[in-house]
């Protein structure tokens, strides 16, 4: 583990979307390992947030800006001269994409193109990782899970924007980055439904449950029978970090597209996840919400195959679903009852996770 830590220690690491849930945990992890982190986001997307709760701005260089502005992005790259670029910034909500499809495409597709164009003109960059989604695949309800080479697609604006993001990334990879493979690793990463402490996203199952418990309300569930690849955020980020390490060593061999998902046993329905949360927390009630608009469809089954990561990186999930839920409940309980110690519990969870890896 010390060797791995030293690969990131002192590196100039640019994280877009650092005020979001996944980007926030990733920025904390990089800071914890001694990286020089610059976070770039348009705003803090939720109130409360992991970013504010942990006071992450005191540990990294916190910048505000819009990835849709190429000029603003170019200034950051010119000043900071990043060595490692991790692109998390996105419009991440399926339902929001129905309400604002053009903004979703502008952020997810053109925003990514701007980041990649800045990378293309930045000789210091040694690694570029574009974070997309398991929803980038053309969904045919495959129980065996989608592999990296399966067709891309999208039946809703969000999924289509993520498929388009993948195509944009592939275009930059093939057109501009391949001839630089001796100096730079590049990849896209696709993960399943990520959860953990500090997520307050709208229309997301576990944050909605936390809000219902906090306000003593009954959780209204849209699709309790939908199956998703649930995984704790640290499992997912561990995959990203392990891949980044390999890309720094052998960029030509490991550049490409990668899935990171849970074991098949953790492909559960939304109702089963909520039941586990109820039992762990000892609180909470839910009921099915009547469908208001038949246009807003969500796929019933979504699963990922991550054999490639297992075989080539030696990656596998560290915490199973129940362990992840227990840590998530502990995090939110700390936030509600002892918020001054939220950074302490966050770092404790990270340390506990890393000990389990070893």
Give pLDDT tens digits for 73-121.
Answer: 999 999 999 999 999 999 999 999 999 999 999 999 999 999 999 999 9
**Structural domain of residue 105, as residue ranges?**
1-357
Residue 297 has pLDDT above 70, yes or no: no
Q: Which candidate, 240, 251, 231, places its Cα nearest to that of 315?
A: 240
Residue 295 has pLDDT above 60, yes or no: no
45 exposure class (CB count in 10 Å sphere: 0-12, 13-18, 19+): buried
The percentage of the chain sitting over the pLDDT mark of 70, rounded to a whole number, equals: 97
* pLDDT for the residue 141: 83
Q: Which candidate, 287, 294, 298, 283, places its Cα nearest to that of 220?
A: 287
* pLDDT for the residue 358: 79
In whole angstroms, give the CA distance from residue 196 to residue 119: 31
Residue 225 has pLDDT above 70, yes or no: yes
Tokens of 9: 């220690």
CB count within 10 Å of CB 266 equals: 22
* pLDDT for the residue 218: 95
Residue 246 CB partners (closer than 8 Å, separation 6+): 185, 253, 254, 312, 313
* pLDDT for the residue 180: 64
Quick one: pLDDT band at residue 293, thresholds 50, 70, 90? low
Q: What is the pLDDT of residues 1-25, one digit of tens each?
A: 889 999 999 999 999 999 999 999 9
* pLDDT for the residue 192: 81
Which of residues 127 and 192 earns the better pLDDT score?
127
**Per mean pLDDT, which range of 62-71, 102-111, 138-147, 240-249 is the poorest?**
138-147
Q: What is the pLDDT of residues 118-165, one digit of tens each?
A: 999 999 999 999 999 999 999 988 888 999 999 999 999 999 999 999
Residue 233 has pLDDT above 80, yes or no: yes
Q: For 185-223, b where at least 16 C-beta lie within 10 A, e where not — what string?
A: bbbbbbbbbbbbbbbbbeebbbbbbbebbeeeeebebbb
Number of domains in the chain: 1
How distant, in Å, are the alpha carbons of 16, 153, 163 from that of 134?
19, 11, 9
Q: Which candidate, 350, 248, 330, places its Cα nearest to that of 28?
A: 350
How distant, in Å, are the alpha carbons of 86, 131, 236, 244, 248 from that of 17?
9, 10, 16, 18, 22
Tell me the residue ranges of DSSP E strands in the chain: 12-16, 36-41, 61-64, 84-87, 127-131, 185-191, 194-195, 218-221, 227-229, 231-232, 256-260, 267-269, 285-288
- Output the average pLDDT for the chain: 95
Q: For 311-349, b where at least 16 C-beta lie within 10 A, e where not — what string?
A: eebebebbbbbebbbbbbbbbbebbeeeeeebbebbeeb
* pLDDT for the residue 89: 99
Write the CATH number for 346.
Answer: 3.40.50.720
How distant, in Å, are the alpha carbons of 24, 31, 169 from that of 186?
21, 22, 9
Residue 311 has pLDDT above 80, yes or no: yes
Chain centre to alpha carbon of residue 304: 15
Query: Do residues 14 and 40 touch, judged by C-beta distance below 8 A?
Result: yes
How distant, in Å, are the alpha carbons of 4, 177, 184, 263 from that of 252?
19, 10, 8, 28
Mean pLDDT of 30-40: 99
Tokens of 199: 């997520």
Residues in the chain: 358
Residue 327 has pLDDT above 70, yes or no: yes
């Amino acid at each position: 583990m010390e060797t791995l830590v030293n690969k990131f220690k002192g590196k100039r690491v640019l994280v877009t979307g650092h005020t979001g849930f996944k980007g926030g945990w990733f920025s904390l992890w990089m800071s914890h390992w001694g990286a020089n982190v610059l976070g770039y986001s348009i705003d803090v997307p939720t109130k409360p947030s992991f970013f504010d709760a942990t006071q992450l701005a005191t540990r990294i260089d916190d910048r505000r800006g819009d990835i849709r502005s190429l000029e603003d992005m170019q200034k950051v790259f010119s000043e900071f001269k990043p060595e490692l670029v991790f692109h998390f910034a996105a419009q991440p909500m399926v339902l929001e994409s129905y309400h604002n499809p053009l903004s979703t495409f502008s952020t997810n597709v053109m925003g990514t193109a701007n980041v990649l164009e800045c990378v293309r003109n930045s000789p210091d960059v040694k690694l570029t990782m574009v974070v997309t989604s398991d929803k980038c695949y053309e969904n045919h309800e495959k129980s065996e899970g989608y592999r990296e080479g399966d067709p891309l697609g999208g039946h809703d604006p969000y999924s289509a924007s993520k498929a388009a993001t993948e195509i944009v990334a592939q275009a930059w990879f093939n057109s501009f980055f391949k001839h630089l493979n001796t100096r730079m690793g590049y990849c896209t990463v696709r993960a399943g439904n990520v959860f953990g402490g500090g997520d307050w996203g709208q229309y997301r199952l576990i944050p909605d449950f936390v809000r219902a418990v906090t306000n003593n309300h009954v959780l209204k569930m849209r699709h309790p029978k939908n199956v998703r690849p649930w995984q704790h955020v640290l499992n997912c980020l561990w995959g990203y970090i392990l891949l980044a390490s390999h890309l720094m060593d052998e960029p030509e061999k490991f550049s490409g597209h990668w899935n990171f998902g849970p074991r098949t046993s953790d492909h559960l329905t939304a109702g089963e996840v909520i039941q586990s949360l109820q039992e762990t927390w000892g609180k909470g009630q839910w009921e099915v919400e009547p469908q208001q608009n038949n246009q807003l469809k969500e796929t019933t089954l979504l699963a990922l195959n991550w054999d490639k990561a297992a075989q080539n990186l030696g990656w596998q999930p560290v915490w199973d679903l129940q362990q992840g839920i227990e840590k998530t409940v502990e995090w939110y309980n700390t936030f509600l009852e002892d918020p001054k110690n939220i950074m302490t519990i966050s770092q404790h969870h990270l340390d506990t996770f890393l000990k389990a890896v070893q």
